[in-house]
Amino acid sequence: MTEVIVILGNQLVPDHPALRKYPGARIVMIEADDVCRQHRYHQHKLMLVLAAMRNYAAASRREVTYVEYRPGSVFRTELGRQLDKYDATRLIWMQTSDRGPNAALEEIAAEHGCEPVTLENRQFLTTPEQFDGWLGEKSAPLMENFYRWQRKRLDVLMDGSSPEGGRWNYDDENRHPLPKQRPVIPPLPGVRATHHVTEVAALVDEHFADHPGRTDNFWLPTTRSQALGWLDAFIDERLESFGRYEDAMAADEPFLFHSVLSPLINLGLLLPDECVAAAVEAYHRGDAPLSSVEGFVRQIIGWREFMYGIYWCRPSAFDANFFGLRKPLEDWWFTNRDVPQDLPLPLRVCLDRAHEYGYSHHIERLMVFGNWFLTSGYQPRAVYEWFMSMYVDAYEWVMVPNVLGMSQYADGGMLATKPYIAGGNYLQKMGHWFGSAKEAKDSEFTSRYWQFLAAHDDKLAGNHRLALVLKQARSRGG
């Protein structure tokens, strides 16, 4: 029996379960053109994945059959060629985070007469089966309830059967804007470019020059050791203030106190349990307050795992377009050229940053971009395509529920209890984007907010969380 393990580009986990269980199997890794072109990926996303794949293969203690990028190459064809070459009888892989690749690997195995063997995904702490057991028949599952279940199940920040410190979350201590006298914001650690990064930069320049971003300012770790260094730097330098300022924005600070670990966790260079353990250990050492540690833990074992579970267990919930929005997304969103001159400052700054880094922190994504897209009437799937293309941490499993469910409310409220929209006052409070409170009140964000509420009154009238603002919108219309 000839066994072949295929390791995908976003499964670069240490101690891969297939390598441990099948020590004699052949290992195959493939860079395929069709995979690189599934979306109009930011150049930093392509560099991150391809360079990390090459580093991973080079660091392997076992021989890897590595298929490098060729224009026009197709993953299915390339993997089939390797299975035939080795006369494979068994194809082994770790369950993919997205549904599509998992199904495709099943089909490829069948086409080439291989027994398919799927191992549990190590990039999450909750399997789809476990989440489905918790979910049951809940029509509108609440992340907060799931998060408490997770804390107990995983025994994270627990004092017996009670939460550490006596409270489940510390929202009232977190989510503050930056004060006028700013705390020192440590920069992200610098990263030395490996020779694989240099190689891949040339590849991207040659074949993907029309994609967003550019290669000469690449900034991300692409090895396991570099990723661990980023985790250590976050724990030592930014975790202490993370919780308090996790919803803050600043025109001159793209990263603030955020961990910026999502690209590395979603790729497999870091594991969620080790990130959680590092934060909890910092709390126990007295190096970070419980409020910040709990906020970080909630993002990983709560929100991240909740999104993954919803994606797998409620796959049909996001095919809807609740508000019936149809506006197509203009190409300048992808090119950052010929951008309208009257674009409000928050959008202009955040768009420049998205093109510069392939990254925005979660409040900019939700309350600047998502807010604007929704109140402007853009088609939800077009918005999803932009997010999938632009961000280095974007994968289907996380962007479907986050963008279509939470940000664009396309599911009509299965995931979010209300649309996440706001006027200029919120942006001014959290980011001081405008010259004055009056300027914020008179901004295009504010006018589109009220117009949206008025236009969709019939769809939102039954939402008790919006009763007051809908009443105000009706009054303004009168």
Q: Are residues 15 and 103 in the same domain?
A: yes
Q: DSSP letter string over 386-446?
A: HHHHH-TT--HHHHIIIIIIIIS-TTSSSS-SS-----HHHHHHHH--SSSHHHHHTSHHH
- Could you tell me how far CA 474 lies from the centroid of its own chain? 37
- Could you tell me how far CA 49 lies from the centroid of its own chain? 14
pLDDT digits (tens, 9 = 90+) for 260-293: 999 999 999 999 999 999 999 999 999 999 999 9
Question: Average of pLDDT values for 241-265?
Answer: 97
Give domain status of residue 203, yes or no.
Answer: no
Give domain status of residue 301, yes or no.
Answer: yes
Name the amino acid, one letter, at 24: G
- Using alpha carbons, select from 298, 301, 305, 221 the residue that is nearest to residue 261: 221
Q: Are residues 33 and 108 in the same domain?
A: yes
- Using alpha carbons, select from 238, 239, 256 the residue that is nearest to residue 290: 239
Q: Which residue has the tokens 């901004």?
A: 443
Q: Which of 313, 348, 383 is the last residue of a domain?
A: 313
- What is the pLDDT, as a whole number, of residue 259? 97
Q: Are residues 301 and 391 in the same domain?
A: no
Whole-prediction pTM: 0.96
Give domain status of residue 324, yes or no.
Answer: no
Q: Are residues 348 and 302 in the same domain?
A: no
Domain count across the chain:
3
Q: DSSP letter string over 300-318?
A: IIIIIHHHHHHHHH-TTTT
Q: Are residues 159 and 285 in the same domain?
A: yes
Give domain status of residue 195, yes or no.
Answer: no
Q: Are residues 276 and 380 in the same domain?
A: no
Q: Are residues 290 and 370 in the same domain?
A: no
Q: Are residues 386 and 450 in the same domain?
A: yes
Question: Average of pLDDT values for 297-318?
Answer: 92
Q: Are residues 272 and 344 in the same domain?
A: no
Q: Are residues 340 and 415 in the same domain?
A: yes
Name the amino acid, one letter, at 436: S
Domain that holds residue 292: 128-188+219-313
- Three-state DSSP string of 107-168: HHHHHCCCEEEEECCCCCCCCHHHHHHHHCCCCCCCHHHHHHHHHHHHCCCEECCEEHHHCC
Q: What CATH number has the domain bearing residue 81?
A: 3.40.50.620
CA distances from 380 to 49, 155, 203 (A): 26, 38, 32
pLDDT digits (tens, 9 = 90+) for 338-388: 999 999 999 999 999 999 999 999 999 999 999 999 999 999 999 999 999
* Tokens at 350, concatenated: 């955040």
Give domain status of residue 200, yes or no.
Answer: no
Alpha helices, DSSP H only, in 37-74? 43-59
Could you tell me if residue 325 is left (phi over 0), alpha (psi between -120 and 50 degrees) or otherwise beta? beta
